[in-house]
């Protein structure tokens, strides 16, 4: 399997061929989409099995000249940071397609599944690309299918939401493109320029302080919008509310992670002086996102919008862990990306399940569902507890490591002993708004019109059980995952905190 990573990119594209052939047969379209995403999931697990734990460098590398006159290559590989994000992506895509095949999508099914396969190509490619130009291609590729998924199969305000989503993310992408061009021109003389990550890391000693300051800002804004960080978050609730259930699952579970991953993969290793210059702002915005997301979630009347705003708070822990620049915080950030993908993806799945049956999303219109849906209530309760960080479930591990790293971080004004307790308040607030939501939705008097509604179907259980298993496994035995992440994360932290290069750039 010498071209394993290329196969991960090609398989969803290959699935488009039978989709076109059988586009008029909805049953065949469902079978093709489910089979393609299942094969992709199996291949990503095989890739994970081939990964050598304990090595910090990139593995399963494939490198081919693409535009040799410009120094651009098809260059892919995985390390401890990305090797877990790829199976997360393929699993959530498979679950999204499987759930959609149950009847949630009533029109243009072939086009819908085509959009999901194209989206999977972009999402997987983002986590595999080691050339900045290739990364940008995949980063932009994610935008178009998601635009179509929300704009065609979304809710009543889908046009407004998709335009807002595109304008925000496209603005960030164009800023990153300017930064990529600047990095390319600064990487060497004509004929020796490159956009390959390892070669750029070798050349970064020639990047001046002013250059790093502004280029980090260009990259940082693109990744901050994608995450999204406060105050660039306003596109997210609208996009989630109007997206179909499967669209919300992959939007929260995968697309947001491209921002955090971009910081770790490119911004931190390439611009150590820029990192130090913008560090106070990044820490401040991360803590603000944690507290703001929690407070705004607590006052939401729409169940789906509550889960959407909770993502702002949880992704604040990701950026906080990244920018405390130590191993505990960084490992916690990567784990938090995985945990958020599984748990928040599951929460959106459960919101979609109840909406398909009750056609209600306002919390005030629900209530008493525990009386008729014991299985749904039990599983939904587990994911709510994981989201608020209950020990023994996966949400606790990532947040604990991020807070541990923050308390040990002296690198900003007032130090970690100030920012750590502030971030910890977000955990308390999460318990408040999530448990209050669960109490209002699941308990109390039940509407008569809900009494005959069925509990979870076998298809819905098939979508939920893998996420439940991973939620428990990551919470009870996180060490195997930490062992995969640590070596590569430690390498990124050392590159981002190299005192020699920071002093060299400052001169």
432 falls within a domain? yes
How many percent of the chain have pLDDT more than 90?
76
Give the pLDDT confidence score for residue 504 in this predicted structure: 61
Please tell me which residue, 71 or 435, carries the higher pLDDT value: 435
pLDDT of residue 408: 83
118 belongs to a structural domain: no
Q: Please, what is the angle between helix 416-442 and helix 303-323, to 10°?
A: 160
Per-residue pLDDT tens digits for 40-59: 999 999 999 999 999 989 99
The confidence score (pLDDT) of residue 1 equals 55
121-146 average pLDDT score: 95
CA-based angle 357:359:362, to the nearest 5? 120
- Is residue 4 one of the residues assigned to a domain? no
What H or E segment, with its residue span, contains residue 103?
A: none
283-312 residue pLDDT tens: 999 999 999 999 999 999 999 999 999 999
- How big is the chain by its Cα radius of gyration, in Å? 22
Q: Which of 15, 233, 239, 85 is nearest to 149 (CA)?
A: 239
Residue at 61 is within a domain = no
Q: What is the pLDDT of residues 68-109, one digit of tens each?
A: 888 899 999 999 999 999 999 999 999 999 999 987 888 899
Give me the DSSP letters along 54-96.
T--S-EEEEEEEEEGGGTEEEEEEE-TTTTTHHHHHHHHHHHH
The residue with tokens 């489910």 is 34
pTM summary value: 0.94
Give the pLDDT of residue 500: 65
Q: How many structural domains comprise the chain?
A: 1
**CA–CA dist 376, 350 (Å, integer):** 8
Q: What angle do CA 230, 233, 235 make, to 5 degrees?
A: 165
pLDDT in tens, 178-213: 999 999 999 888 778 899 999 999 888 888 889 999
Average pLDDT for 171-181: 93
Domain extent, residue 267, equals 151-506
Q: What is the pLDDT of residues 410-425, one digit of tens each?
A: 766 667 678 888 999 9
What backbone phi and psi angles, to 5 degrees, belong to 62? -130, 130
The contacts of residue 450 (CB under 8 Å, 6+ apart) are 358, 368, 369, 372
- Residue 51: predicted pLDDT: 94
Residue 350 maps to a domain: yes
Q: What is the pLDDT of residue 507?
A: 58
Distance set, CA 32 to CA 11, 28, 37, 94, 321 (Å): 12, 6, 9, 12, 40
Name the nearest CA neighbour of 390 among 420, 421, 350, 434: 434
Is the residue at 380 inside a domain? yes
pLDDT tens digits, one per residue of 391-410 = 999 999 999 999 999 988 87
Q: Return mean pLDDT, the chain.
A: 91
Residue 501: band (very low, low, confident or very high) from pLDDT cuts 50, 70, 90? low
**Residue 213 maps to a domain:** yes
- Residue 53 falls inside a structural domain: no
């Amino acid at each position: 399997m010498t071209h394993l990573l290329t196969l991960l990119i090609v398989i969803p594209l290959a699935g488009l061929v039978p989709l076109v052939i059988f586009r008029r047969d909805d049953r065949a379209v469902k079978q093709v989409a489910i089979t393609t995403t299942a094969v992709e999931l199996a291949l990503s697990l095989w890739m994970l099995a081939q990964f050598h734990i304990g090595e910090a460098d990139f593995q399963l590398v494939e490198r081919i000249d693409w535009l040799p006159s410009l120094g651009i290559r098809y260059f892919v590989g995985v390390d401890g940071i990305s090797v877990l994000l790829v199976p997360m992506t393929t699993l959530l895509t498979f679950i999204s397609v499987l759930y959609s095949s149950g009847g949630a999508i009533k029109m243009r099914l072939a086009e819908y599944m085509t959009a999901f396969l194209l989206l999977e190509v972009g999402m997987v490619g983002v986590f595999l690309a080691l050339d900045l130009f290739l990364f940008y291609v995949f980063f932009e590729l994610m935008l178009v299918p998601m635009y179509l998924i929300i704009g065609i199969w979304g809710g009543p305000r889908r046009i407004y939401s998709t335009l807002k989503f595109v304008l925000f993310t496209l603005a960030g992408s164009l800023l990153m493109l300017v930064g990529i061009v600047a990095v390319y021109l600064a990487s060497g003389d004509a004929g020796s320029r490159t956009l390959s990550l390892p070669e750029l890391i070798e050349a970064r000693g020639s990047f001046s302080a002013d250059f790093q300051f502004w280029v980090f800002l260009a990259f940082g804004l693109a990744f901050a919008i994608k995450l999204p960080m406060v105050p660039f978050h306003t596109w997210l609730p609208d996009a989630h509310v109007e997206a179909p259930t499967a669209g919300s699952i992959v939007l929260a579970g995968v697309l947001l992670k491209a921002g955090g991953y971009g910081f770790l993969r490119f911004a931190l290793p390439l611009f150590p002086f820029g990192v130090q210059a913008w560090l106070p702002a990044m820490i401040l915005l991360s803590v603000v996102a944690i507290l703001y997301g929690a407070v705004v979630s607590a006052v939401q009347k729409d169940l789906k919008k509550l889960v959407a705003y909770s993502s702002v708070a949880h992704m604040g822990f990701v950026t906080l862990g990244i920018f405390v620049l130590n191993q505990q915080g960084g490992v916690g950030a990567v784990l938090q990306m995985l945990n958020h993908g599984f748990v928040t993806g599951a929460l959106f799945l459960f919101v979609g399940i109840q909406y398909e049956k009750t056609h209600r999303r306002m919390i005030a219109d629900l209530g008493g569902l525990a009386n008729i849906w014991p299985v749904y209530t039990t599983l939904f309760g587990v994911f709510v507890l994981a989201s608020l960080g209950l020990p023994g479930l996966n949400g606790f591990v990532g947040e604990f490591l991020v807070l541990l790293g923050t308390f040990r971080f002296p690198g900003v004004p007032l130090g970690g002993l100030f920012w750590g307790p502030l971030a910890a308040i977000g955990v308390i607030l999460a318990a408040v708004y999530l448990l209050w939501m669960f109490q209002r939705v699941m308990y109390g008097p039940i509407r008569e019109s809900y009494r005959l509604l069925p509990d979870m179907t076998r298809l819905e259980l098939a979508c939920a059980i893998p996420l439940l298993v991973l939620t428990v496994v990551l919470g009870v035995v996180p060490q195997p995952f930490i062992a995969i992440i640590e070596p590569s994360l430690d390498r990124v932290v050392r590159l981002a905190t190299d005192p020699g290069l920071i002093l060299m750039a400052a001169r």
